[in-house]
Structure 1
Amino acid sequence: MDFTSTLTLFAQALLIGLAIAAPVGPIGLLTIQRSLQQGPRAGLATGLGASVADALYGAVGAYGVDAVITALAAARLPLALGGAAFLLYVAWGLWRAPAAQLSAQPTLSGHSLWRYFAGTVLLTLSNPATIFSFIAVFGALSARSASTSPGLVVLGVFVGSALWWLTLSAGVGRLRQRFDERWQRRVQRSSAVALAGFALWQLGGLLGPAGLSAA
Structure 2
Amino acid sequence: MDMTTLLLYVITVSAVMMTPGPSMLLALNNGASHGMRIAGCGIAGAALSDLILIGAVGCGLGALLQASEQLFSVVKWGGAVYLFYLAWVLWHAPTQALVNTPAQGAARGRSAFARALLVGLSNPKGLLFFSAFLPQFVRPQEPVAQQYVILALVSAAIDCMMMVIYALGGRHAMRTFSARVMQWINRSCAGLLAFLAVGLSLYRRSDVR
Instruction: Pick the TM interval, shorter chain.
Output: 0.7 to 0.9
Which residue of structure 1 lines up, in the alignment, with residue 22 of structure 2? 26
Displacement, 1:22? 1.0
Distance in 2 between the 1:159 and 1:30 partners? Answer: 17
> Could you tell me whether the CA contact under 8 Å between 2:53 and 2:127 is conserved in 1?
yes
SS where residue 20 of structure 2 aligns? coil
Q: What TM-score results when the alignment is normalised by the length of structure 1?
A: 0.79
Residue 95 of structure 1 contacts residue 189 of structure 1 at CA under 8 Å; is this kept in 2?
Answer: yes
What residue identity is the alignment partner of 1:58? I
Alpha-carbon contact 2:55-2:148 (below 8 Å) kept: yes
Please show how residues 151-162 of structure 1 align to structure 2 within 5 Å. 151-162=149-160
Q: 2:175 aligns with which of 174, 177, 181?
A: 177
Paired residues, number: 201
1:112 lines up with 2:108 in the alignment: yes
Other structure's SS at 1:195 match: helix
CA–CA separation in structure 2 for the residues paired with 1:9 and 1:171: 32
Cα distance in 2 for partners of 1:32, 1:173 equals: 8
| Residues 28, 169 of structure 2: 8 Å contact kept | no
Task: Answer yes or no: is 1:188 the counterpart of 2:181.
Answer: no
Is the 2:28–2:163 contact (alpha carbons within 8 Å) kept by the matching residues of 1? no
How many Å apart are 1:134 and its aligned residue? Answer: 1.0
Amino acid at match of 1:142: V
Measure the CA separation in 1 of the matches of 2:101 and 2:182: 15
1:149 aligns with 2:147: yes
Query: Which structure 2 residues correspond to residues 1-215 of structure 1 after superposition, within 5 A?
Result: 5=2, 7-8=3-4, 10-61=6-57, 63=58, 65-66=59-60, 68-73=61-66, 74=68, 75-102=71-98, 109-143=105-139, 146-147=142-143, 148-203=146-201, 205-206=202-203
Runs (5+) with no aligned partner, structure 2: none
- Asked if 1 retains the 8 angstrom alpha-carbon contact of 2:128 and 2:205, the reply is no
What is the alpha-carbon root mean square deviation over aligned residues? 2.8
Partner-residue secondary structure (3-state), 2:142: coil
For residues 7 and 131 of structure 2, what CA distance do their matches in structure 1 show?
19
TM-score (norm 2): 0.81
The one-character-per-residue Cα deviations of 1:57-90 (angstroms, maximum 9, x if unpaired) are: 22333x3x23x23443322111111111111111
Percent identity over the alignment is 22
Give the secondary structure class of the aligned counterpart of 2:138: helix
